Homo-oligomer: A and B are copies of this chain.
Amino acid sequence: MITLEQVRKRAEADAKTYGYYLTPDADLLTAFLEGLKVNEDRYGYPLCPCRLASGKYEYDRDIICPCDYRDPDVAQYGACYCRLYVNKAVYESKNLPEVPERRPIEKQNRAYAPQTAKEATTEGTQEKPASATMAQQTGQFKKKLWYCKQCGYMVYREDPPYICPICKAKREMFAEIKSEVEFSG
């Protein structure tokens, strides 16, 4: 089990790496870090405490803290959706901005719909939920090799990151690396 102190240290170190600050609201900070600890103990990964978990790793991956949306949100609004990570101006002003949910609706649907689908259709079986099967069939959520056309940074994901963590290029700078080989994992 992870300790609250380890969760705090990891968040502080990560904020420093990216030039961010942790929220200036001390009560919020404590609540967030406790939320992260509870989620890590429960799910095995530090799921965002401000969002609803599906409990399935492959559907929750994008909202594991630091989530996929943190960097574009801090760049655009000065804070992430939870206001756990903020930039210097927000940290000093202590005015936490409203940050709209950037998570695409199809990822939200994928995360929460299958539960119902499963309960309704696969009662007593071990089949996969309908929507996941469909996504696999259509290849919509298949992992691919991507690279940043500016710096060459490579990732293996369903879709490219919003901002290149190495050179800060925009998502549009990512392209798929194609080959005749199938990759899995």
Point out the residue from B10, B150, B177, B180 that lies within 8 Å of A168, measured CB to CB.
B10
Q: How many residues of A contact B (CB 8 A)?
A: 52
Chain A stretch 63-82: residues in CB contact (< 8 A) with chain B:
64, 66, 68, 74-76
A97 in contact (CB, < 8 A): no
| Residue pair A87, B9 in contact (C-beta under 8 Å) | yes
| Residue pair B179, A181 in contact (C-beta under 8 Å) | yes
CB-CB under 8 A from A15, the residues of chain B are 19
- Does more than half of chain A's interface fall in helix, strand or loop, or is it mixed? mixed
Chain A stretch 94-134: residues in CB contact (< 8 A) with chain B:
none
CB-CB under 8 A from A9, the residues of chain B are 75, 87
A45 vs chain B, min Cβ distance (A): 7
| Residue pair B147, A152 in contact (C-beta under 8 Å) | no
Chain A stretch 127-161: residues in CB contact (< 8 A) with chain B:
143, 145-147, 149-157, 161
A residues apposed to B, CB below 8 Å? 6, 9-10, 12-19, 45, 57, 61, 64, 66, 68, 74-76, 87, 143, 145-147, 149-157, 161, 165-169, 173, 175-185
4 residue pairs, one from A and one from B, having the closest CB atoms:
A16-B19, A152-B155, A152-B157, A147-B156
